[in-house]
Structure 1
């Protein structure tokens, strides 16, 4: 894992169904993300915020809300992440809603092909994000990033990278899933997406889930973590627009992060869907910072 990271703020809720995720980057900064990582000996550069189109807050057009604006934000992020990877730094995307994973993972996937490395994506989320315009009437693209990355979606998004599809579904491991639309459920089964839903976590425990999700990660693997804050149970993380009861507890979430850190292979990170408009005294942002510290090696005294 690189000890040199770059924070990239992406202040937009362009793909979301609620306003407010655009304030996520500043909430993470106020919660002390940069300072916490510096205290762990990490070289931190805050690149500030990307610029992009404002959110016009319009209904769907041909099945998608704000498609042109979504594309613009993701192209800007794709290029920003690519530049950090090229410079040998670990990009941390401060979202913003989860549609931004299209841009960040597009850059990561291209980088792994260029460098001849394997890609593994750990997708921490309450939702599978494998919707299409035919499945969901909302047209909100934050419910579609994984399907778009896998080549199912509007041409401007599925063709955003150096190849189509951007990724193969086999590189994705989704953890914490507990809200999937009926049509989406059929689609993820058809493509063989590897999903560790909450029932499976309840049955076998988070340790086994993470052992399975990280199986095969080695020195040739670029591990990308896409951390949607609604992955967490809303009792500990109320600051999201799409809360779903029954998510991982604080300790389960810490175990996830610690086991990812133990691999030493995390090379890029998204933090998305933090919505201060729904939060309580920045509680969720502070929890997110705590968990990201664990991704960078914070652990109990027994394993210090």
Structure 2
């Protein structure tokens, strides 16, 4: 495992809105790059290789009835193609000994990162820093068949999920729910069927004690699976910018008003996660520049996150 003090980042953009509610997220990686993310990482002392962006995949409407319309989650074939491409590119990043930083795009990008990490590292955990939990099941939400709200359900291979997504990696499910921590959510618990026995630390608890919240997450996601013989498991961090209060920092594709974290709290909870020796990769997703056309939010994100990601701390 690469220690925090000698981590080398491999930055990969996946400019897709195929799984989203509408177009816009496909512009996210370019906006973060224009805000100087890669340069800011290097200036803060990080070692970085920029692998560029995968092909742009923009949201598209469903065909009209009678001309190939389908039921189930929207554009599942298109989303699956994007995620397979990202998985294969991330496999190369990991094979080079780099720590992936995936710029998106949608929350579904947690799937290819987890798939590539499980193939390379074995059992992994996940800290899901997000305003929601993305546990919607297709059968429960035919009125909103958006895969962006179903990503974790597919990571866990919950009933009724799309086989091409749930089967993206070398095993099903990709994650053990006990190795998953939801951190910073402000919605109601989405596990309406009681299928997901994961650790949950809601936004109010994170805001009250960010360092304590990070500690709880680390315990949850790094504790080795019984019988595996491992001392601890590596883990990934998923960061959806909708975990932030959109009244203070607009730009999230689906914003939260008055319930999200402040940028300072986000930094405080991320610092111990990213500095941990078990940290193995990260997604940074859901920034829609159409919601902040002057780029102010992207620049503030970059200024806040670059020092955290570049920090070098002994394990």
Q: TM-score, normalised by structure 2?
A: 0.85
Q: 1:39 to 1:163 in 2, by over 3 A?
A: same
Q: Counterparts of 2:294 and 2:243 in 1: how far apart (Å)?
A: 20
What 5-or-longer segments of structure 2 have no aligned partner? 64-68, 224-230
Q: Counterparts of 1:108 and 1:287 in 2: how far apart (Å)?
A: 29
Q: Counterparts of 1:213 and 1:3 in 2: how far apart (Å)?
A: 21
User: Which of the residues 43, 48, 51 maps onto 1:44?
Assistant: 48
More deviation in 241-250 or 49-58? 49-58
Q: Are the counterparts in 1 of residues 124 and 233 from structure 2 also a CA contact under 8 Å?
A: yes
User: Which of the residues 227, 237, 240 maps onto 2:239?
Assistant: 227
More deviation in 284-293 or 210-219? 210-219
Q: Are the counterparts in 2 of residues 257 and 291 from structure 1 also a CA contact under 8 Å?
A: no
What's the RMSD between the two structures over aligned residues? Answer: 2.2
Q: Counterparts of 1:186 and 1:235 in 2: how far apart (Å)?
A: 29
Q: Are the counterparts in 1 of residues 263 and 304 from structure 2 also a CA contact under 8 Å?
A: no
SS of 1:274's partner is: coil
Q: Counterparts of 1:24 and 1:157 in 2: how far apart (Å)?
A: 22
1:163 and 2:163 are equivalent in the alignment: no
Q: Counterparts of 2:282 and 2:140 in 1: how far apart (Å)?
A: 28
Q: Are the counterparts in 2 of residues 236 and 284 from structure 1 also a CA contact under 8 Å?
A: no
Question: Over residues 114-172 of structure 1, what are the superposed CA-to-partner deviations in whole Å (9 max), with x where a residue is unaligned?
Answer: xxxx5221111001001111222211111011110101211111111111111111111
More deviation in 284-293 or 6-15? 284-293
Q: Counterparts of 1:296 and 1:160 in 2: how far apart (Å)?
A: 27
Q: TM-score, normalised by structure 1?
A: 0.88
1:174 and 2:182 are equivalent in the alignment: yes
Q: Counterparts of 1:195 and 1:110 in 2: how far apart (Å)?
A: 26
Deviation at 1:199, TM superposition (A): 3.8
1:140 and 2:153 are equivalent in the alignment: no
Question: Over residues 197-244 of structure 1, what are the superposed CA-to-partner deviations in whole Å (9 max), with x where a residue is unaligned?
Answer: 124335x52222111111264885423111101011112321112111
What count of residue pairs does the alignment treat as equivalent? 291
Q: 1:135 to 1:16 in 2, by over 3 A?
A: same
Match of 1:302 in 2: none
Q: Counterparts of 1:256 and 1:52 in 2: how far apart (Å)?
A: 32
More deviation in 52-61 or 263-272? 52-61
More deviation in 46-55 or 213-222? 213-222
1:108 and 2:117 are equivalent in the alignment: yes
Q: 1:266 to 1:283 in 2, by over 3 A?
A: farther
Q: 1:296 to 1:248 in 2, by over 3 A?
A: same
Match of 1:268 in 2: 281
Q: 1:244 to 1:298 in 2, by over 3 A?
A: same
Report matched runs for 1:210-249 at 5 Å.
210-215=214-219, 217=222, 220-245=232-257, 246-249=259-262
User: Which of the residues 80, 97, 100 maps onto 1:71?
Assistant: 80
What 5-or-longer segments of structure 1 have no aligned partner? 300-304
Q: 1:39 to 1:53 in 2, by over 3 A?
A: closer
Match of 2:197 in 1: 192
Deviation at 1:257, TM superposition (A): 1.7
More deviation in 51-60 or 70-79? 51-60
Q: Counterparts of 1:235 and 1:263 in 2: how far apart (Å)?
A: 31
Q: Are the counterparts in 2 of residues 262 and 297 from structure 1 also a CA contact under 8 Å?
A: no
Q: 1:180 to 1:141 in 2, by over 3 A?
A: farther
